[in-house]
Structure 1
């Protein structure tokens, strides 16, 4: 049931296709001999098996694939083990669809950046590393804001070619609700990272536009 839910989640994220969904390590290993996915979403608790053993097998076989752990195992030992064997991210159940989407977007951005580049500068690498935000500290966020959502929105603002943009523009590009995007833009405005402009029309509510400072 959980596998089916995650599969449906994945289909809602642009740029991703589900190759295969399996419930045991034998099927997973056999499938990897046929297909070469870019990313594996891996649980720890499998019937009579442990997903971490599969992660270790991938590394010992030098199979070039990235892995995001999606599991109910919240023990520090397991989390550390996952990262030591090269997991990109670790999502503890129950998690929100937004959190999964942010993990996938982080992976996709890094994947394509590495694919088209031969060298990279430190500041760009820092921006791409999952769970890293050099300009913001988690404690600085006001209650109800999420650092992953903040980073997704800010990254889009930074690379935007628009002289001005709206919450609707970013909402459409990122697949995040407009009201959510607007909350984060208001926070960025207070933090002086962007500037808000109010455009009054002949009828209806005023339109809020933003630009980078």
Structure 2
């Protein structure tokens, strides 16, 4: 059973997230707190696997707690749950190792998807002492492209939230050429995943790809958004 702590100051949101958690098999709520002092005390005294962490707390910031956990070298995974949509905040969160980022308001299916993707990786690592590169690549790809069973209206094997994040970033590029590597760095998503989505968008005629040959090394693929309305 995966042991979870919720850090959320809003009693109503805390209750909703607690009820959502109970609906996902394999997870157990061990503690729900409203401030970072209580969260730190509980983390230091108990063994936890996952924290559902709000960013905006009264006179506190959940990212400071995330950084504290990393500084203390405490082995706990974190999913951020916040209304903050800024790319800067999202990038910072992924750089400090969050496994997912849920933007309020979200529905149960997105919440469940985040937990099940985490559980898939958690179980895989718990069952094995070592892992081969090809198996690790599949695991990373599945974490970034996992699709909810309820998403029948979207292409199989793709995640609509990941698709939207990538497309929104492309639109912000104002028609300039870009590479998969540049998108991966901005969004904190694996390059192999970015390439899969770009290939799909190319088939949709939303982006075009060209090859740039340098003097040394492999040719570089550059993409740009088609200048038309879709």
TM-score, normalised to structure 1, is 0.62
Instruction: Tell me, yes or no, if structure 1 residue 56 matches structure 2 residue 62.
Output: no
Q: Within 1, Cα distance between the matches of 2:69 and 2:104?
A: 23
Shift of 1:133: 3.6
Residue aligning to 1:115? 126
Pick from 33, 36, 57: which aligns with 1:25?
36
Residue aligning to 1:43? 54
Pick from 144, 152, 156: which aligns with 1:132?
144
Quick check: 1:126–1:133 contact (8 Å CA) kept in 2?
Answer: no
Q: Within 2, Cα distance between the matches of 1:142 and 1:118?
A: 36
Quick check: 1:41–1:70 contact (8 Å CA) kept in 2?
Answer: yes
Q: Within 2, Cα distance between the matches of 1:133 and 1:74?
A: 21
Shift of 1:148: 4.2
Residue aligning to 1:70? 81
The structure richer in strand per residue is 2
- Count how many residue pairs are aligned between Structure 1 and Structure 2: 144
Q: Within 1, Cα distance between the matches of 2:145 and 2:134?
A: 11
Q: Within 1, Cα distance between the matches of 2:36 and 2:60?
A: 7
Quick check: 1:99–1:148 contact (8 Å CA) kept in 2?
Answer: no
Quick check: 1:102–1:148 contact (8 Å CA) kept in 2?
Answer: no
Instruction: Tell me, yes or no, if structure 1 residue 81 matches structure 2 residue 92.
Output: yes
| Structure 1: tracts of 5 or more residues without a match | 150-213
Task: Decide whether aligned partners of structure 1 residues 119 and 126 sit closer, same or farther in structure 2, where only a CA change above 3 A counts.
Answer: same
Q: Within 1, Cα distance between the matches of 2:120 and 2:13?
A: 26
What secondary structure is seen at the aligned counterpart in 2 of 1:124?
A: helix
Pick from 93, 98, 104: which aligns with 2:115?
104
Quick check: 1:13–1:101 contact (8 Å CA) kept in 2?
Answer: yes
TM-score, normalised to structure 2, is 0.58
Q: CA RMSD in A?
A: 2.3
Comparing 112-121 with 122-131, greater Cα deviation is found at 122-131
Q: Within 2, Cα distance between the matches of 1:82 and 1:131?
A: 17
Shift of 1:123: 2.8
